[in-house]
């Protein structure tokens, strides 16, 4: 895997009830190799598989902006949606 990488996870929506971890729209977490302080481990677990392509200098093929992807926490009682952003690479956007 590539060297030092930085990512940002931002809460975009809380669709049902309050998040049990207390996450609110606008909360932002920046991280590299470790789960950032204050971020629920369930949300981190949901984001982690989408971090891996960024670690390997890739992007998310189905997204127009290859440096960002939507992540939804699996807690169906709150349905928190995050945006995961790759801060380390400037992967070219799709020409589609």
Q: In what order do the strands lie in the sheet with 80-86?
A: 28-31, 7-14, 80-86, 68-72
CB atoms within 10 A of CB 11: 20
Angle at 88 between CA 67 and CA 66, to 5 degrees: 10
Q: 68-82: per-residue pLDDT in tens?
A: 999 999 988 888 999
List per-residue pLDDT tens for the chain, 96 residues long.
456 889 999 999 998 888 888 899 999 999 988 889 999 999 999 999 988 888 887 778 788 888 899 999 998 888 899 999 999 865 554 434
Q: Domain boundaries in the chain?
A: 7-86
Q: What are the contacts of 21-29 at 24+ separation with CB within 8 A?
A: 23/80
Do 38 and 11 form a contact (C-beta atoms < 8 A)?
Answer: no
Question: CA-to-CA distance for 56 and 73, rounded, in angstroms?
Answer: 23
């Amino acid at each position: 895997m590539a060297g030092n990488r930085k990512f940002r996870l931002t809460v975009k929506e809380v669709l049902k009830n309050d998040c049990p971890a207390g996450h609110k729209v606008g909360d932002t977490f920046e991280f590299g190799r470790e789960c950032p302080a204050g971020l629920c481990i369930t949300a981190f677990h949901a984001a982690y598989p989408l971090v891996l392509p960024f670690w390997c200098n890739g992007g998310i093929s189905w997204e127009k902006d290859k440096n960002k992807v939507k992540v939804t926490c699996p807690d169906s009682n709150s349905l928190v949606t995050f945006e995961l952003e790759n801060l380390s690479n400037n992967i070219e956007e799709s020409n589609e």
